[in-house]
């Protein structure tokens, strides 16, 4: 009987280690978005976005002020989801991932490359919503700079 309980317990604990979690699904959605950018594939990009997604950037202007720029999702998809000569390669570092029910928030520092050439760095902040078809990006805000970038 002890052997049976030991086997059942080991199976129960090891089975949960192999189950995919919401964090894994959230990461997959974001990774798929960046794969779509690298491929210049608007269809792949659209599968990751909620129909009402909002995109914004916090930018430092030449005069030293800070501004909030808002971009339409369709314009973003057209820009990065259309085949282009250089690969748009955004390399992220997974930061803090928080999930509460159907809402996820993710902080990802990044470096952006056009082909092999470094362009800029910053931080992305993603908000995702769990829908009937999986996690969808509902909001992205980022920062962009060319200096003080991590090695």
Tens of pLDDT along 76-130? 999 988 888 999 999 999 989 999 999 999 999 999 999 999 999 999 999 999 9
- Inter-CA distances, 84 with 113, 119, 128, Å: 13, 16, 27
Mean pLDDT of the chain: 88
Q: Does domain 21-143 have CATH number 1.10.510.10?
A: no
pLDDT at 15 over 60: no
Domain boundaries, the chain: 21-143
> Could you give the dihedral angle defined by the CA atoms of residues 44, 125, 53 and 79, in that order, rounded to the nearest 10 degrees?
-50
In contact, 138 and 129? CB cutoff 8 Å? yes
């Amino acid at each position: 009987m002890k052997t049976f309980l030991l086997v059942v317990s080991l199976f129960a604990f090891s089975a949960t280690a192999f189950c995919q979690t919401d964090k894994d699904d959230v990461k997959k959605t974001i990774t798929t978005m960046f794969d779509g950018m690298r491929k210049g594939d608007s269809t792949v990009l659209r599968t990751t976005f909620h129909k009402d997604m909002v995109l914004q950037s916090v930018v430092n202007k030449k005069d030293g002020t800070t501004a909030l720029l808002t971009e339409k999702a369709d314009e973003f998809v057209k820009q990065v989801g259309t085949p282009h000569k250089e690969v748009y390669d955004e390399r992220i570092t997974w930061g803090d991932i928080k999930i509460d029910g159907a809402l996820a928030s993710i902080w990802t520092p990044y470096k952006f490359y056009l082909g092999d050439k470094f362009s800029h760095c910053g931080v992305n902040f993603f908000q995702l919503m769990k829908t009937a078809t999986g996690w969808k990006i509902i909001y992205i805000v980022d920062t962009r700079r060319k200096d003080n970038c991590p090695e």
